[in-house]
Structure formats: C-alpha cells, structure tokens
Amino acid sequence: MKRLLATLAMALVLPHTLAQTPPQPPEIAAKAYVLLDLSADQALAGRNPDATVEPASLTKLMTAYLVFQALRDKKLTLDQELTVSERAWRTGMTDASRMYIQVGNKVRVEDLIKGMIVQSGNDATVLLAEAIGGSVENFVAMMNRQAQAFGLKVSQFKNPEGLPAPGHVSTVRELGTIAMRLLVDFPGDVRYYALKEFTFNKITQQNRNLLLWRDPSVDGLKTGYTDAAGYCLIATAKRDFPNGPRRLITVVVGATSKEARAVESQKLLNWGYSAWDSVKVYDARQVITQAELWKGASATAKLGTQAPVVVSVPRGEGGQLKTQLVRTDPLIAPLTKGQQVGTLKVLSGTRVVSEIPVTVLEAVEQAGMFGRAWDTLRLWMR
C-alpha cells in the first residue's frame, strides 16, 4: 500500500483499462460514485468520477487528516483541553450537526475528534481547526495546501466543516484519494470512524453511517448532506480472503436519502468483493531478479518492490497474469538501497493491469579502480 503515497493519482484508473469486457457494476442511484480497492491501489468502477460536486461533511475527512497529522507531530495531544470559542459555538448553531459544546468551556481534543467524526459536529470541527491553524482561515489554507500535495486538481476548501460556500468543491475521485490517504497514513487513528455512538454533555448521538450496524466488515468512514449535495457517504470495508485482507472504499454522492446512500454503498461493496479477485504477484522486497551490474563490487544487483504487488482482476482472470520488468540499463554502480531502476508491469494477456516501481533491495558499492576500468572497456566494446 505504501506505493500509493507516490503514485495514487496514476493508480486510479477506471476499469476500461483493466479488461476488455470488465464485469458490469450494479445500477447505482446516485449522481456520482467511485469504488476503490485500496489493497491493489485500483479503481474498480465509477460514474462521473471527475464531475464537480459539493462535498458537504465529507470535507471533514481532510480536516481529520490535518488533526491526525498534528497529533503525530506533537502539536496536539489527545488529553489537551481546548477552550470553546464563540465562532466554534456559533458555527455549530447554524446546522443540525453539532456536538453541543458551550462557549468558554474546556473540551478534550479526543472528545472533539469523536464529536467531529461520530456526531459530524461542525462546532467541534471549527474548534480543532482554530487550535491547529491559529484561525479558521489559516487552517483552510492548510487544507488547500494538503490537497495540492495529494495532487488534487479540482478540490477547493472554503471551510473545515463542509457547510455550503461558493467554490467549496471536490470530485468523488478526489474525495476517494483523501479517504485512501487517511487510511494509509493514519491506520491507528481511523478507529474513531467505527464508533457507533458518542455521548458528550449527557447527549448521545449515533453515527449516521448505517452500514456500521448492517455489515460487520464496514468500519468507516463519513456521511454528508446538504440540499445541493444530496445524501453522501464514503464507506470502507475490510474482509479476509485466502490471499490476505482486502479493503474497499466507496464514495457515493447525491443519493436521495440516508437509506439510499447506505443501500447503494452496500451494493458496490458486495459487487467489488464478489466480481473481482485480488491476486498477490510478489511479496514486499521479494527478489524479482538479480540484474547484471557494471563497475560494482558485485556482478549483480537484487531488484524488487518495496510493497507487495497486489492487483485486482475480474473474477477468473488471475491465471492470465504475467509480469514484464522494464529496467534502466545498463545498471552502473554505486546503487543505493531503495533506488528506483525500473518498472514492473503486470499484464493480463496484452493489457497492462498495474505498473509498480522496481527498486534496489541491497546497496552495491563501486568496484576498485581496475574493476571499473575493465567494465568501462567492456561497455565500450558492446
């Protein structure tokens, strides 16, 4: 999954590039959707994936990413108490989604995280944004810088909570990217998204993700709603298979009701698991080949991938897979561990399913002066 960090935008290829006759997804009653296989870094299906949409409270995934980043960097602690500002309180009063925090009270950061995620509290979200950015405006600038760092082209954030604002937009593909980065970069912190309810100030509110009650493999992520966006849900599930666990993510925007967004997301998850096979081609750091090396202390270099090579293919197509290693030849020492020297292509027939960077698994130093001179002559003679 780590190769996602560098190649996510390239990995989200819709299924017409994966198979000549891909399995057809179920009919989904929504304005736009995408189904992602996080384990294989692939998109399995989608409709209008790049259409501009209003993200509503799905915005809070980007806010949460920056909150978890601040916790990781020790800029916040879970036990730290924040004083509720009037702006945070007032933002909560403008919409039904609030944690019910009161001006001047002190609230633990962890409680605010639960309020933002489980209760979708706009007040909790703004208070966290103020603590991290110094002001809401500074935090929003941080959100947009992070979007650029992710390689997002459409997403623009005007606030941290997702209330309607001119120019506050995204796409289902880019919202999926944010969700994937959240799951990959902060796997321990996403536990909050599986909480079914949270009680604060003697007020208990349930998580609005209905799939948490219906499918034991679902453990997140976020709901959203505005009049313009309709009912939205980013859902994720993790199920175990003989080749290892598979995590899928659905992004559904513009459903007609809370029930509809849950039903349509469940249809996509079930189809993704039943119509597609996950195939592990290589383990992480497995030696794929020992390539000829010039001017090195060793005559060969061990090459492989830093992460497991896993691909998703239409069910029954796994037996057609083959690999092709494209190298940057000639390989000349010195080589450093982790240095990219080629690309591994995974093909089904003649179709490229996935492309993964191939790196040096063990560093190789230069040979002595005589060895380098001899290989220089040999290269010239070639």
Beta bridge partners of 332: 294
Which of 31, 39, 57, 354 is an active site residue? 57
Residues in CB range of 119: below 8 A, 6 or more apart: 97, 98, 99, 198, 200, 205
312 is catalytic: no
DSSP state of 98: -
Burial of 145 (0-12, 13-18, 19+ CB in 10 A): exposed
Which ranges of the chain would DSSP assign to H, the alpha helix? 4-11, 60-72, 86-93, 109-117, 122-133, 136-149, 172-185, 211-214, 258-275, 369-381
57 is catalytic: yes
**Residue ranges with strand state E in 295-381:** 300-304, 309-314, 321-327, 331-332, 340-348, 351-360
Which of 120, 278, 312, 348 is an active site residue? 120
60 is catalytic: yes
Pairing of strands 276-282, 309-314: antiparallel
What would you report as the CA-atom Rg of the chain, rounded to the nearest whole angstrom? 24
Which of 31, 39, 60, 354 is an active site residue? 60
What are the residue numbers of the active site? 57, 60, 120
